[in-house]
Each structure stands twice: as C-alpha cells, then as structure tokens.
Structure 1
Amino acid sequence: MKKKSYLTGCIFLSFGIYFLLQHYHISLFQGFYTWPTLLIIIGLGFLVNGYVGKDYDSILPGVILTGIGIHFHITNNLPVWPEHSGIFLLLIALGLLLRYVKTGSGLFSGILFLTAAILLLFFDKIVTWANNFGYNLSFLHNIMPLIFIGIGIYLIYSKKK
C-alpha cells in the first residue's frame, strides 16, 4: 500500500493562507512577509508529511528548513541569539535525532553533529575554561577545519558493517 504524501497539499494550503494574509495586509508579526517565513512554511510541510504521512525521511529536511527560518526571524529580533554556523549543525543534529526516534537509524550521525555543534557554539568558552586550568587550546581554532575534513573523509571511505 502506497503512503499518502501530505507535503504538496500542506505547502499549497500554507502558501495560500500566506498570500491571503498578505492580500488583506494582515501581519502576524513584524517581518512576517520575508523569505524566512517561506522556509518555515515549507519546513512545516515536510514535518507534517514526516509525522502525519509517516514518511520519516521528511523529518530531517523539515527540521532544517523550519529551524533556519526560525533562526533568521529570531536573529533579526533577539540580539542575544547566536549568529553562528554552529546553529546549522545543531539543526541537522536535531533533525537526525528526531528521525532516529521514529526509524532507529542515524543516532551516531546525530550525536556526531550535536558534538560538533556544541564545540562550535561554545568554543570560546571552552578555550577560556581550559586557559583557567593552564591548558592552551587556542591552536584548535586553526586545525578545526582539518579535523572536520578528516572526519568527513573517514566517514565517506569507511566500510559499513
């Protein structure tokens, strides 16, 4: 039996509501009529398809698109929100972990992305903390890209069991 896809219907319905609100000049919040809102709409369509339509592979793109849209809305309105590349890795980690809950696969990748996101988001605090204990970790800033490249190459060429 073929699974029903809710993605196209949800996106058309949401875009229709968005355009209707725009036509009647109804703004739900400042900056509503911007591209991050469109990313949220598309991401929510993927999430509905993932959870309601039981197409669990839609969870990852749904979390990423919705998260990026929310991130850019919050960045413009909340000065304390981190405007950092680690946020994107955190969204990938969240999507992988939520997909793992439904499918049982992707836990290692989710934890790896979560670790990388935490490392990037709190790198300055980790270096400061280490300096307080007499350790100089500032060299990690220079080799971190090489570490990421090495992990990527290893994961691409390692044999799966």
Structure 2
Amino acid sequence: MKKHGIFSGIVLIGLGIYFLSAQLPLPFLKLFQGWPTLLVIFGAALLGQAYSGREYQHIFPGVLLFGFGLHFLLIQSLKSWPNKTGMLFLIVALAFLLSSRKMKSGFVQSLLFFVLAFVMLFSDRFNYFFHIIETSISFVWKFWPLVFIIFGIYILFVKKK
C-alpha cells in the first residue's frame, strides 16, 4: 500500500468506535458488537485505500469484507433480511463488478455470479421450470448412444479421406 494513512486511519477510527461502543450502555450500539462489525471496518478501510490511493486491487477484498460483514449484521438486526446462500454469491458478484470497472477484468465472472445468485435466491419460484428441465434431460439421456451411431455413420459414409 502506497499510502498507509488512509487504511490505518479508517481502521483506527473504526476500532475506536467499536471498543467505545462496548463501554457505553447505549442499546443501539450493542448491535455493532461482534465479528461482523470487524469485517465492515476492515472492508471499509480497504475500500478507502483502494479509491483514495488509486490501489484498485483492494476493491475486490474490500467489497467482500464489507459486504459479508454488512450481510451478517443485517441478518442479526432485520428479520426480513434474506438469510440465503444466494446473498453471499450476490456480494461476490458485486465485488467482481466493482473491481472490473477499475481493473478491466472480471466482468464475465460478475455476470456468472449474478446469475448464480439470482437462481439461488429465487429458486423456490422456479421449481416447475427445473422439473421440466430435469424430465427433458432424463428423456434425452436415454438416447445418448445415438450420438455414437450417428458419429459412426458419419465416419463410414460421409467422411472421405
């Protein structure tokens, strides 16, 4: 890291607030006690370093740490927040997307993770569709030997040396 001041400053401020919140008897600060808050602090520090120090290789881990920490904080505080594996894939997709904007690579990976996250988050709504695909594949799978037969006919009669 070229400029250590930004990363170190954010970490020190974040840890100071984290430990001070343990000392103060305010109920809303108790939400921020725990390991997810530490992920948010270090993720924010990496993102601050990435954007202010133009060290864009820190965007991906910064978004991952910040996003995972925020996700686990929201699971604790909001009962309506989705506690599904698809949310983790969505955070990874966002990390790839934001990183790809500056690093010029990783955009395809972000699209793949977005699709995977979408399928995992909304798979209960696609049960009928998945059933159709499963029965179609099982029907086609019965006839896979036809590929050998067609390829053999091609080699014997169509392909000329």
TM-score (ref. length: structure 2): 0.72
Cα distance in 1 for partners of 2:50, 2:124 equals: 36
Residue 89 and residue 4 in structure 1: after superposition, are their counterparts in 2 closer, same or farther (change >3 A)? same
Residue 3 (1) aligns with residue 2 (2): yes
Could you tell me which residue of structure 2 aligns to residue 102 of structure 1? 102
Structure 1: tracts of 5 or more residues without a match: 141-161
Cα distance, 1:92 vs structure 2: 0.8
* Corresponding letter in the other structure for 2:21: L
The 1:16/1:139 distance shift into structure 2, 3 A limit, reads farther
Post-superposition shift, 1:24?
3.6
d(CA) in 2 for partners of 1:24, 1:77: 19
> 1:105 aligns to what SS in structure 2?
coil
Q: What is residue 66 of structure 1 aligned with on the other side?
A: 66
Give the structure with higher Rg (CA): 2
Q: Which residue of 2 aligns with 1:135?
A: 132
Give the C-alpha shift of residue 71 in structure 1.
1.0
Give the drift of 1:30.
4.3
Unaligned runs of 5+ in 2: 138-161
- Taking only the aligned residue pairs, the percentage that are identical comes to 35
Higher helix share: 2
Structure 1 match to 2:86: 86
Query: What does residue range 115-126 of structure 1 map to in structure 2 within 5 Å?
Result: 115-126=115-126
The residue identity in structure 2 corresponding to 1:135 is I
Deviation at residue 96 of structure 1 after TM alignment = 0.8
Greater than 6 Å deviation, 4+ residue runs: none
The CA deviation string for residues 102-158 of structure 1, in whole angstroms up to 9 with x for no partner, is 222111111111111111111111224x27xx8255999xxxxxxxxxxxxxxxxxx
Task: Specify the code of the residue in structure 1 equivalent to 2:94.
Answer: L
SS across alignment from 1:31: helix
1:137 and 1:84 map into 2 onto residues whose CA distance is 23
Tell me the distance in 1 between the aligned counterparts of 2:81 and 2:135: 24
Contact 1:127 1:136 in 2 (8 A): no
Amino acid at match of 1:15: L
Q: State the shift of 1:94 in Å.
A: 0.1
Q: Is the 8 A contact 1:86 1:120 kept in 2?
A: yes
Corresponding pairs, count: 136
**Alpha-carbon distance between aligned partners in 1 of 2:3 and 2:118, rounded to the nearest angstrom:** 37
2:147 aligned partner: none
Query: Match for 2:122: what amino acid?
Result: F
